[in-house]
Amino acid sequence: MRLLAAMNKADAISRASDQMVPELYAAMAIALHRVRGFDMEQIEEIFAESQRVWQEFEGEPDEMIELCEKETGIAVRGGN
């Protein structure tokens, strides 16, 4: 029973992530366009770099957040 519950939870998280990640990228694209006037090519370049950062990163999720703060000064906080 616990295994089934864990699988259901993992599936729910995966589905939520599949929905949220595109929404986050969309929100960032809109913000970059509105605030800095970035065009499609510039936004795609930033998104491509974010994918490279993601693929090259070998740490835990909280370490990515720490790296962000170290490199940019931006402290990303979750809603927990």
pLDDT interval class at 1 (50, 70, 90):
low
H-run or E-run covering 58: none
Dist. CA 18–CA 52, nearest whole Å: 19
Dist. CA 54–CA 57, nearest whole Å: 5
Average pLDDT, the chain: 87
**Of 56, 69, 54, residue with least CA distance to 46:** 54
pLDDT tens, position by position, 7-39: 676 777 777 777 888 999 999 999 999 999 999
Dist. CA 53–CA 74, nearest whole Å: 16
The reported pLDDT for the residue numbered 16 is: 73
pLDDT interval class at 80 (50, 70, 90):
low
